Amino acid sequence: PETITVSELANRMAARGGDVVKALFRMGVMATLTQSIDADTAQLVVEEFGHRVKRVADSDVEIGLEGETDEDGELMPRPPVVTVMGHVDHGKTSLLDALRRTDVAAREAGGITQHIGAYQVQMKNGERITFLDTPGHEAFTAMRARGAGVTDMVVLVVAADDGVMPQTVEAIHHAKAAGVPLIVAINKIDKDGVNPDRVRNELLQHEIVVEELGGDTQEIQVSATKGIGLDKLAEAISLQAEVLELRANPDRMGEGTVIESKLDRGRGPVATVLVQRGTLRTGDNVVAGAEWGRVRALVNDKGQQVKEAGPSVPVEVLGLSGVPSAGEPLVVVEDESRAREISEFRQRKVREKAAAALTAGRGSLTDMLA
Ligand code: GDP
Ligand code: MG
């Protein structure tokens, strides 16, 4: 029979066994590392982890990951995906707005900006940076818990006049837990009497050593409201991106993560998706969490309809059967029947889990998942 042990499956995905057990649990399947699961279940787990599955043959146990077959020559440089974090009122929103106004492409498009949860800025030298706008720290944690490694780096905003505060420390922990590098943006340097050295020393206590103190964390002094240091910050992001050698194969079926979603009165379910590999196109059959659909339209961060979106590009996806949750993977599948099948399987699992939670007594399942 077509089965695979949980540990073998984890092995092939280069994932931790415990994470696979947890993913199965979320799907309503109780299994230990040494137990076997059927190929259908395995396939869904693999997709949950953001990979695409290739069944080798009906009689064959193999669940090959196409993700592993990307040849070096197929991998193309992709823009970095950046999350801005920091303590409340330290200037995250102001900085994101200021960076957005530096976008060369937006000016060409007549300055039309749309508020979707992520946007891409084109710098003067033509390079692009994708900024995630939504994640509060909670959303970030939720996405990480789902295994969605959406961000490549964190820009930590610290107000020079306030210094390191509780949410600053929290952001440092998030970046460390996610294993992504951090760039420090000391903000509000336009204010009188502010002292960056104080911020540097406070960061030191949390093991963030900026270059100015001989460490390897880049630090940029900025003023979001006065527009100071924005080019330098963009350069720092580019430099970090170069170090990370961010690449993806644009030439395969699209895969990404839902960043935010809503039910729009006129347009129906709308999911903002960050494409992470491959290219997502209008007309594609997709599964997003437990929802499915045929992509009716793609809308970019400037409110323009586009035919396709490649790696690191955020787009609104229209045409889904319902509203998927933030952090859930979106994958293109070969046809509509496959999309329906996966969606139905997931919806059944969601219902079963809900029923199990009721039987098990209030709160116990959610307690275990928390
Ligand atoms: P958030 O809570 O981190 O998103 O912070 P906001 O962007 O909402 O900014 C909080 C307050 O700080 C607002 O009143 C901003 O106008 C102000 N602010 C943000 N950046 C700067 C800056 O560079 N200089 C000065 N003087 N004020 C700033
Ligand atoms: Mg804000």
Segment 53-103, tens digit of pLDDT? 655 433 333 333 344 467 788 899 999 999 999 999 999 989 998 998 887
Residue 116 CA, ligand 2 centroid: distance in Å? 15
Residue-level pLDDT at 108: 57
pLDDT (0 to 100) of residue 341: 84
Query: Residue 152 — φ and ψ, nearest 5°?
Result: -90, -25
What is the structure's pLDDT at 298? 97
Question: Residue 242: which H helix or E strand, with range?
Answer: helix 230-244
CA dihedral 87, 89, 91, 92 (to 10 degrees): 50
12 touches 48 (CB < 8 A): no
The per-residue pLDDT for 364 is: 46
Contact 269, 289 (CB under 8 A): no
So what's the ipTM on this one?
A: 0.99
Q: Whose CA is nearest to atom 24 of ligand 1?
A: 188
Q: Is 79 known to sit in a ligand binding site?
A: no
Pairing state of beta strands 247-248 and 76-77? antiparallel
In whole angstroms, how far apart are CA 109 and each of 104, 154, 326? 9, 28, 29
Ranges in the chain, pLDDT < 70: 1, 52-69, 106-115, 134-148, 357-370
- Mutate which of 88, 89, 133, 194 for ligand 1? The one with the most ligand atoms within 8 Å of its CB, which is 89
